[in-house]
A and B are shown apart, each in its own frame.
Chain A
Amino acid sequence: MADTRKAWYRLDNAAKIYPAVRTQKWSGNFRVSVTLKEKVDMKILEKALADTAERLVSLRLNLHRGFFWYYLEDSGESVKATEDVRNPCARFGGKRNREKPCRIRVYENRIALEIFHVLADGTGAMNILKTLTARYITLKYGEKIPAENGIIDITSKPDKEEMEDAFKRYARFKAVKSRQELKGYHFKGTKLKPHDINIVTGVMSASHIHSISKSYKVTVTEFITALMIYSFMQCQSESKCHIEKPVKISVPINLRKIYPSKTLRNFALYINPGIEPRYGEFTLEEIIEDVHHFMRVNNKEKYLNAIMCKNLSDEMNPITRIVPLCIKNVVMRIAFNMYGENLVSSTFSNLGMVKVPDEMGKYIDRFDFVFGRFKRDMPSVAAASFGDKLCISWSSGIVEKDVERRFFTELVKMGVHVKIESNFYPINN
């Protein structure tokens, strides 16, 4: 145990950009949460957290600054559970990076895990949350929960693969793909204060959305992506934009579905389906068809591997490696501004159907996935479903909710019953 507690980890390929582009007011965060059927017992949760952190090193890591790269180090202390707040996903990294890159928040029936992207991606975070929830349910109700569907057996020995940089393991370096793309349209409006965030969650029937997607012969991810593009396109055409820009949505692809990795860290790549409004007005059906074909073409192992190789080749370049971190940070900020959020109008990440063992499922009401605010404050969407509840959460740093409204009203027009929840109190409206 002593050796494990002194362990340190390199940041994975996708994580390296996040500490560099973080500002005084912003860092790339997201959160996954589980809503139980009963109120969360804080004392039992703290015990469950301590037990889980003994096994999952991710809950004990601190982010540190090295001379050439940032790195994660095992602090030996577990993250503490705190009360939830109205404006979640606040910036990580106070006191010269000694803060843990994750937080546990509790509110009534909900346990939320907020994560700085250096630590994990959505799937990795969901597996950590599922493991913690399973331990909590075991302690509270005495239920024996099997280690399946992403739940990790906390009595087992840590697997090295859980903390590996899976990008390096699977990249073939036979071909690299360029990042050159046109800049995307960005919805503009009144910016919220730096610490604040607008979260609007639409809760709806997962089976209904699935049947609508099926009627278009596309997946739920493709359907929601197309609906987002449609909403952004309408907002752009109504705005006073003189030159219309492409509307593109960045969609992360979970590489664990392609490569058999057990990693809990980042292992996703982004592809950007979209439309070019200058070609003419697109109907929703046309957008759905475009997105579907784009995803079919680009969501292939060979293409994704080429993107992975491009990202890794930049990182592994000998010149890049010997440059001090302070200079790298400046270069990475420029690269992020050129190729990051600048290229796309929004991001949509779908965790899909969250599966848990039946012994655990009966205590759970729903799972949520929420993005933190983006650097350009653009509205973005994260979704997760459990049972028949699909929760689509819009996060934004902009006061106006035109895109969110268009998106949900389109669903209502299709006959979907949408229940809206938000983090704004009447005083802020």
Chain B
Amino acid sequence: MSYCVNCGVELNSNEKRCPLCSTPVINPNIDNKKIDLPPYPPKSEFIVERKIKHTTALLISVVLLVPLLVCPLCDYLVTGNISWSLYAIFGIVLGWILIVPPIIMRHDVIIKCAWLDFFSILLFLYLVNRIAPTKTDWFDALSLPIVCLLMIMLMIILILCKVFHLRPITIIALSIFMLGLFTVAIDIFTNLFLGKGITAYWSLPVVIACTAVTILLLVVSRLAKLKAIIRKKMHV
């Protein structure tokens, strides 16, 4: 007869750990020949799941496959070569990457999909830049830094959420602040691309408003008294 030293409950003699608190059971007097049968057999039963997720993914793939084949065919029949349909092909492939993997992936979906989408969007923009009739190289100057910055900001938010277990209100505050910074970055990159130097114009009111909202949310989240006053004055 064994007891858990932590919980005080009697345990089946076959138990090596307390089922309630996992404290190891050490009983030198236990007779190995008289060990009770376990209350349940060791064999487990597994459910055969219908793969609804995979069916949905397959359905979406088939639906996207139709324009993927029809567009180049129409393009070739009308113009005699493949020109405008390349945009449609790249767009459909990007759409498939954005929609299908989140459906079929199982673990760490947000992180995996974020990286996959990041590289896919970069590749899409690069290819569009290459086939575009204009000779301006907007990919290196504009698309690449903006998409990279967006990815960095997303990773910062995800890492902070994971490490500090942020509350929803703090995540919202952080996201709004990041959005403000992102608009400034877009403003600067656009001005650099247009040859106006490192300057920011329209994004300044945005970043100020975002910062104010962020501070307000952080203050509200921390001050219980203020929260109570707001609730009293603003109740509906």
Contacts and interface: CB of A to CB of B under 8 A. Distances in A.
Interface of A: 24-25, 83-88, 90-91, 94, 107-108, 194-196, 199-202, 240, 242, 401, 404-405, 408-409, 412-413, 417-426, 429
B45 interface: yes
Nearest to B1: A419
B12 interface: yes
Nearest to B18: A420
Contacts of B47: 24-25, 90-91, 194-195
Contact of B45 (A107, A195, A409, A425): A195
Contact of A426 (B8, B16, B39): B16
B167 interface: yes
Contacts of B38: 425
24 contacts: A25-B47, A85-B40, A85-B44, A86-B44, A107-B40, A194-B47, A195-B44, A195-B45, A199-B40, A200-B19, A242-B167, A401-B20, A405-B21, A408-B20, A412-B9, A413-B8, A418-B9, A418-B10, A419-B9, A419-B12, A420-B10, A420-B11, A429-B17, A429-B19
Contacts of A199: 40
A200 B21 CA distance: 12
Nearest to B19: A422
Nearest to A94: B48
A282 to B, nearest CB: 22
A195 B44 CA distance: 9
Contacts of B46: 195
B41 A408 contact: no
Given A85-B44, A195-B45, A242-B167, A420 B19 contact: yes
A422 B165 CA distance: 32
Given A201-B39, A420-B18, A426-B16, A87 B10 contact: no
A85 B43 contact: yes
A86 B41 contact: yes
Interface in B1-59: 4, 7-12, 15-22, 37-50, 52
B8 A429 contact: no
Interface string B42-84: 1111111110100000000000000000000000000000000
Contact of B41 (A84, A413, A422): A84
A contacts with B: majority SS:
loop
Nearest to A419: B10
Contacts of B19: 200, 401, 420-422, 424, 429
A85 B41 contact: yes
Contact of A108 (B12, B22, B37): B37
Contacts of A418: 8-10
A409 B10 CA distance: 11
The 3 closest A-B pairs by CB, nearest first: A422-B19, A412-B8, A421-B39
B7 A408 contact: yes
Nearest to B53: A24
B20 A404 contact: yes
Contacts of B22: 429
A195 B48 CA distance: 9
B45 A87 contact: yes
Interface in B74-132: none
B44 A408 contact: no
A202 B9 contact: yes
A242 B10 CA distance: 36
Given A85-B40, A94-B48, A421 B20 contact: no
Contacts of B167: 242
Nearest to B47: A195
Nearest to B167: A242
A423 B39 contact: yes
Given A419-B10, A421-B12, A429-B22, A83 B43 contact: yes
Contacts of A408: 7, 9, 20
Contact of B43 (A86, A91, A200, A426): A86
Nearest to A240: B165
A373 to B, nearest CB: 11
Contact of A420 (B12, B42, B44, B52): B12
A108 to B, nearest CB: 6
A384 to B, nearest CB: 15
A86 B42 contact: yes
A167 B170 CA distance: 49
A87 B40 CA distance: 8
Contacts of B165: 240
Contacts of A422: 15, 19, 39
Contacts of A405: 7, 20-21
B40 A84 contact: yes
Contacts of A24: 47, 49-50, 52
A429 B19 CA distance: 8
Contacts of B48: 94
